[in-house]
């Protein structure tokens, strides 16, 4: 059974960098697309981007200038970095598996981690 778990600081100061890691168990991170999605409190879901083929990436244009997704295949983990954060980046951040190809839906998801941007 594939499981994903997010980890990282729950509080980040404005203008600093948000860094999260997703640990994957039960599947090899060398396959599929590995995705970050976020959900501001009380709002809808927002796709951030994905990494696949152990290094190729694709980001949402609205975040592209500030986002980096990377992978550590030796640890079966992938990571998110979001620079120059503001209060608008406060959200629950989810990692998820995207089967890729023409099957770009998300399953399973991690449990999510709340990141608050505040001084």
Partner 1 sequence: DIQMTQSPSSLSASVGDRVTITCRASQSISTYLHWYQQKPGKAPKILIFAASSLQGGVASRFSGSGSGTDFTLTISSLQPEDFATYYCQQSYSTPYSFGQGTKLEIK
For the record, the structure tokens of 33 come out as 């697309």
Q: Which two tokens stand for residue 53?
A: 């083929």
Nearer to partner 1, 8 or 108 (CB): 108
Residues 69-98 that bind partner 1 (CB under 8 A): 94, 96
What does the alpha-carbon distance between residue 5 and residue 21 come to, in Å, rounded to a whole number?
Answer: 8
Contact residue for partner 1 among 30, 31, 58, 116 (CB under 8 A): 58
Select the residue interacting with partner 1 from 45, 70, 75, 116 (CB under 8 A). Answer: 45
Out of 3, 17, 28, 104, point to the residue binding partner 1 (CB under 8 A).
104
Please report whether residue 56 would count as binding partner 1 according to CB under 8 A: no
Count of beta carbons in the 10 Å neighbourhood of residue 75: 12
Q: Which residues pair with 23 in a beta bridge?
A: 5, 77
The candidate with the shortest Cα–Cα distance to 66, out of 88, 98, 99, 34, is: 88
Q: Which chain residues interact with partner 1 by CB under 8 A?
A: 44-47, 58, 60-62, 94, 96, 102-112
């Amino acid at each position: 059974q594939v499981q994903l778990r997010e980890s990282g600081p729950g509080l980040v100061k404005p203008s600093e960098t948000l860094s999260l890691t997703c640990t994957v168990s039960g599947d090899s991170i060398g396959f599929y697309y590995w995705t970050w999605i976020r959900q501001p409190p009380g709002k809808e879901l927002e796709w951030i981007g994905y990494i696949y083929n152990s290094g190729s990436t694709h980001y949402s244009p609205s975040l592209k200038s500030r986002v980096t997704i990377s992978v550590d295949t030796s640890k079966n983990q992938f990571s998110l970095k979001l620079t120059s954060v503001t209060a608008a980046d406060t959200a629950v951040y989810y990692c998820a598996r995207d089967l890729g190809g023409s099957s770009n839906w998300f399953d399973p998801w991690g449990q999510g981690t709340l990141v608050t941007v505040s001084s």
